[in-house]
Amino acid sequence: MDFNYSPEDEAFRSEFRAWLARNLADATPMREALADEAAGDWEARIRWHRKLNEGGWMAINWPKEYGGRGATLLQNIIYHDELERAGTCAPFTGFGISLLGPTLIHWGSEEQKRRFIPKILTAEEIWCQGYSEPNSGSDLASLQTRAVEDGDYFVVNGSKIWTSAAHHADWIFLLTRTDPEAPKHKGISYLLVDMKTPGITVRPLVQMTGARGFNQVFFEDVRVPRQNLVGQQNQGWQVAITTLMFERATGHDRGIVKQIHELVDLARRVPHNGASGWDDSSVRQQIASFALEAEAIKYTGYRQLTRQLKGLPPGPESSMLKLCSTELALRIAAFAMELLGPYSQMESDAPFAVDSGKWSQRMLAARGPTIYAGTNQIQHNIIGERVLGLPKG
Ligand SMILES: Cc1cc2nc3c(=O)[nH]c(=O)nc-3n(C[C@H](O)[C@H](O)[C@H](O)COP(=O)(O)OP(=O)(O)OC[C@H]3O[C@@H](n4cnc5c(N)ncnc54)[C@H](O)[C@@H]3O)c2cc1C
């Protein structure tokens, strides 16, 4: 593995670093994952999205002809490293940039690309992802939301759940069942639906962190023009898989090393048996073992990257990375709770909350990544069956 960057990559880094330095005043600060949105947060993210886009720094991995930079895998990594170094991130403004745009570039008709892609880039239209249903999550292809043909329209009935950002969204990309008689993967169609269409109701769901980023979305006789079908009718599963591939490629938690540094700092501050937590060798050993795991995860990531750079198909590393990094984040959060003792129970606005309650927020938020983009149990299955060759349970 070559750990050096090429001169082109270094030039890319310098260009972005210089751009960031000039425009950082508009950046949104790093926030705790799955924290509730404060007043003005969403608007600030949209402003940062637009600023990045004006500089050509929003959809960097999209091809140039669609408004991206055609950035390589390594440049993508440099991009996120530089954002992190500057204390910011690419803002979450729904799933247009990360999921729908790349899917449409692959599967959309020319008319669909012309109509939707420019407004994804400018954040004039915000997109949410209508995949999960109350009874279909890991087994996504069992979904039951129906779309029935009616002349030039599909009429949609059913409900989607855990729909992030649906309360901000102008559009939803929706998996629907168009042929209930076909085998489950063969009767699905992928539709683009205007959230203002009559018959759509969005109801907020509050997460255990207190955040209100989730929703359940109900569809009652919602009429969707046929021209909003992506790919072929009943062949939507292939389109859906493309979107899922982009979802899995969004990667594991980059913030883990930072969290370990913060844990060291916390251990130095908390009183523990008449001294500080850091004075207890078992505390230091535990934190050292987290740091070692984080290093192992980093090099596993490099191994995966090397495979990709050599054009090899994805190996088992992505399942291992997802599994190990999300479980590590959970254990770090749980250990912080132990260090804090009774103070761990204080929420952000409590007068004696340590670090404004961020550790308890992290503890609650750390569960989410073990669930989305393929639950950790599903990752165990993949590793067991495809890597270790174990029989199916
Ligand atoms: C923060 C967050 C954001 C999300 N945003 C969105 C969104 O915007 N749009 C959207 O469509 N969805 C979204 N989701 C939903 C997410 O995709 C689903 O929660 C996920 O696919 C799991 O489905 P489920 O919740 O129905 O659980 P289920 O699939 O019902 O699973 C329940 C439990 O059973 C286990 N299990 C299931 N099948 C197996 C198996 N074969 N072997 C072993 N164990 C199994 C699971 O691991 C889990 O522990 C989001 C979820 C989270 C946490």
Atom of ligand 1 nearest to the CA of 166: 8
Q: What is the DSSP letter of 184?
A: G
H helices within the chain, ranges in order?
7-23, 41-54, 73-85, 101-107, 110-121, 236-248, 256-269, 281-309, 317-340, 358-365, 376-382
Q: Given this model, what pLDDT does residue 218 score?
A: 98
Indicate the top mutation candidate among 362, 375, 380 to test ligand 1's pocket, ranked by most ligand atoms within 8 A of CB.
375
Q: Given this model, what pLDDT does residue 205 score?
A: 95
| C-alpha distances out from residue 242 to 94, 239, 245, Å | 17, 5, 5
Q: Given this model, what pLDDT does residue 386 score?
A: 85
Please give the distance, rounded to the nearest whole angstrom, from the Cα atom of residue 70 to the centre of ligand 1.
Answer: 32
Q: Given this model, what pLDDT does residue 307 score?
A: 85
User: What is d(CA 71, CA 73) in angstroms, rounded to the nearest whole number?
Assistant: 7
Q: Between the CA atoms of 54, 57, 61 and 63, what dihedral angle is there, to the nearest 10 degrees?
A: 30
User: What is d(CA 133, CA 142) in angstroms, rounded to the nearest whole number?
Assistant: 9
Atom of ligand 1 nearest to the CA of 380: 43
Q: Given this model, what pLDDT does residue 253 score?
A: 60
| Residue nearest to ligand 1 atom 52, measured at CA | 372
Q: Given this model, what pLDDT does residue 252 score?
A: 55
Please give the distance, rounded to the nearest whole angstrom, from the Cα atom of residue 165 to the centre of ligand 1.
Answer: 17
Please give the distance, rounded to the nearest whole angstrom, from the Cα atom of residue 323 to the centre of ligand 1.
Answer: 14
Please give the distance, rounded to the nearest whole angstrom, from the Cα atom of residue 134 to the centre of ligand 1.
Answer: 10
Mean pLDDT by 10 residues, the chain (393 residues): 88 98 91 79 96 97 96 92 93 96 97 98 98 97 98 98 97 98 97 98 93 94 98 97 83 78 97 94 98 94 85 80 94 97 89 91 93 94 90 79
Ligand 1 pocket, CB under 6 A: 128-129, 131-132, 137-138, 162-164, 368, 371-372, 375, 377-378, 381
Q: In one letter, which amino acid is 228? A: N
| Residue nearest to ligand 1 atom 47, measured at CA | 377
Q: Given this model, what pLDDT does residue 38 score?
A: 81
Selecting among 15, 37, 84, 247, the annotated active-site residue is 247
- Nearest 5°: the CA angle 53, 56, 62 is 95
Instruction: Please indicate whether residue 247 is annotated as part of the active site.
Output: yes
Q: Given this model, what pLDDT does residue 90 score?
A: 94
Please give the distance, rounded to the nearest whole angstrom, from the Cα atom of residue 374 to the centre of ligand 1.
Answer: 7
